[in-house]
Amino acid sequence: MKLQIGTPPVEFEALIDTGSSVIWTQCLPCLNCYDQRNPIFDPSKSSTYQDLRCNNTPDHSCVYDIVYADHTYSIGSFATETVTIKSTSGQSYVMPETIIGCSHNSSMLGRSFSGMVGLNLGRSSLVSQMGKHMQGAISYCFSPEGTSKIHFGSNAIVSGEGTVSTTMFMKKENHVFYYLNLDAVSVEETRIETLGTPFHAVDGNIIIDSGTTFTYLPASYYSLVREAVEKVVTAERVTYQDDYSLCYVTDTMDIFPVITMHFSGGADLVLGKNNTYMDYGEGAICLIIICGPAAPNFGEAIFGNIAQNNFLVGYDLSSRLVSFKPTDCGVTQDIPIDDNSISAASLFQFNIKYFGRAKSGLFVLQTNPHKLVRFHLCIPGDS
């Protein structure tokens, strides 16, 4: 997602992450920064930049230290700054005195972007700081290729034919995350209930996270889903070093069963083959619903972003609903977009590009806007 910070405004491109809170970008002076496409932000050149003051540090600086589940990190200090988002309507949405993180020490995968935009329920997230008139509503539509849309406010409400909605839960112990309740998973006609397993819950058991690539299920329940897939697929198995992966020697996804996620309230989300299986190369295709926990700080189960591809996904805090609408997210453009401009469509609708950001296992790196290169990294002893 493209944003502008500072006065005069400087553009930066950041990953959107419903699993984190902080809006941060790399800043000068940089002790340890990764390469990025846009120039690194220089706070000294902005007339609206102001360091936040905290009383619990010797120099009264407000420091932050974020470590993500894939062991990438950002360390820096909090500040207030003007954040500007260009809408596709041509109007700009200006947020003065927005709390951002100014990162002086960071490590990230796929180095074209300049930082992160946290979209969860934390007080420093973009959603929280946009204010009540945005109604706490966001929606996005991830396309495996190209540019798609993100909406805020009334434009973010997802409805219409094919839409399924499920209750959004918040937990006291992890109050910033968006929880859904997964009642069952179907592999073709075989329905695997969570009832009777340790995974069963009625108040949320899986986090929906745009910043995690794969979908993770706890071991005891994952084994049941995996066994159901194994019963359907008759191709030759292939084992990678991470032998928890379920992979087959094949050049087609036609042999794999359709998987449906049954969320509470009757929200039956039928996933496409590209949502649940991935070509690892060398003639192998693997199930990308994986044994967790991938991120112990988040919980045992995560509904990741590949599973969300080609769905319009909406979060509505006022109704406490998350909605899914099957959508070809790659053809939502009204006017062609280039890298240096944002074209007109509708108010509070913004352009985003899809980056697969793995938190373990398979890393998907963008080498250019039109080609994805995939490789598998096995770290001994790292689950």
β-pairing verdict for 311-316 and 2-5: unpaired
Q: In 63-210, which ranges are E strands? A: 63-67, 73-86, 92-107, 115-118, 137-141, 147-152, 164-167, 179-180, 182-187, 190-193, 206-208
Q: Which two tokens stand for residue 171?
A: 């937990």
For residues 276 and 286, what is the distance between their CA atoms, to the nearest angstrom? 9
Q: What are phi and psi of 219, to 5 degrees?
A: -55, -45
Residue in 59, 183, 203, 209 annotated catalytic: 209
Longest CA–CA separation in the chain, Å:
64
Nearest Cα neighbor of 288 from 377, 355, 216 is 216
Nearest Cα neighbor of 374 from 306, 303, 295 is 306
Starting at the earlier edge strand, list the strands of the sheet with 237-238: 237-238, 247-249, 284-287, 277-281
Residue in 17, 183, 242, 316 annotated catalytic: 17
17 is catalytic: yes
For residues 13 and 36, what is the distance between their CA atoms, to the nearest angstrom? 9
For residues 242 and 245, what is the distance between their CA atoms, to the nearest angstrom? 6
Q: What are phi and psi of 194, to 5 degrees?
A: -80, -25
Compute how many other C-beta atoms are within 10 angstroms of the C-beta atom of residue 239.
Answer: 11
Q: Any idea how long the chain is?
A: 383
Give the distance, in angstroms, between the CA of residue 229 and the centroid of all CA atoms in the same chain.
26
Instruction: Show which residues are catalytic.
Output: 17, 209
